[in-house]
Chain A
């Protein structure tokens, strides 16, 4: 049985459906574990926030840049959703176009974050300057690494879709990466609110 070009209402056999449903649930379990991982980093950050140890505190953030980062990541989450909608229409070229836009926005987010990191380190606020900055770089860096992994995954997925089209296997990966990408945006909401906004009040 092939899943390559199915225009039937039911594209999956019962076993295939159960298998992919289990994959989806398993990936969701991983995301929930990641949620706990980020929560512990948030706890560390909140505990160490006052330990600025001579270096300036949280008034060093470049807030307009952080807002731009947030909007870029939020928009990329939506364009990914639009790629999923295009995948359901079996419009492969629209999927690839929208994934490209998502990739560019994600890369823009990551480069703004790296620019911000570079600026902080150049100003003497590197991760070794204080416990606050160690916790800050660990939390934001962990999120940034997730974004970088998501971008690599997205680039690989675009190549696979380009070569194999929208099959059961590429659709499944598209779905999982979508969960991952939306999840990273969810984590960023709290980074934006807790680290940046309550940090500068």
Chain B
């Protein structure tokens, strides 16, 4: 057994030395399966368009979580708690940034181009221009 505990000491790894090799193995197998599953699902069009998009995004998020736990060793240990908190805040910012940008940009036409009724009303109120 190793005596070099540098990674554990600075809080990068949890103090569970025996299982880390297995963690990388599991992370690899699961990530590989998830990647190939989503690839095959899309290449063979196993479902409708909307179902397939949701499936691919869900599989990507699962793989993200798998790699966070298996490769970056983010767990319930106190050593990684501060990193987990920062990650959560960043994830919140990212979600707001993405959903907000997409919402604004795809609602532009609906919200900014007036319907012809509104236009007629506007022109009347401006005495025809």
Query: Could you count the A-B residue pairs with CB atoms below 8 Å apart for me: how many are there?
Result: 152
B2 touches A12 (CB 8 A): no
Q: Which of A69-77, A110-118, A130-138, A153-161 contacts B (4 or more CB under 8 A)?
A: A69-77
Count residues of B near A (Cβ-Cβ below 8 Å). Answer: 52
Which residues of chain B are within 8 angstroms of A81 by Cβ–Cβ distance? 24, 27, 71
Decide yes or no whether A63 CB sits under 8 A from chain B.
yes
* Nearest B residue to A22, CB-CB: B10
A63 touches B43 (CB 8 A): yes
Which residues of chain B are within 8 angstroms of A8 by Cβ–Cβ distance? 3
Q: Chain A's nearest CB lies how many Å from the CB of B77?
A: 14
The 5 closest A-B CB pairs, nearest first, are A193-B60, A43-B101, A32-B90, A39-B94, A20-B10
Known: A36-B94, A175-B12. 12 other contacts (CB 8 A): A17-B10, A29-B86, A43-B102, A47-B101, A67-B36, A88-B6, A88-B7, A175-B7, A197-B38, A197-B42, A198-B56, A200-B42
CB pairs A–B below 8 angstroms (10 shown): A6-B4, A11-B6, A21-B11, A25-B82, A43-B102, A63-B43, A82-B24, A185-B71, A186-B64, A193-B57
B residues with CB within 8 A of A = 2-7, 9-12, 17, 20-21, 24, 27-28, 31-32, 35-36, 38-39, 42-43, 45, 49, 52-53, 56-57, 59-60, 63-64, 67-68, 71-72, 82-83, 86-87, 89-90, 93-94, 97-98, 101-102, 105-106
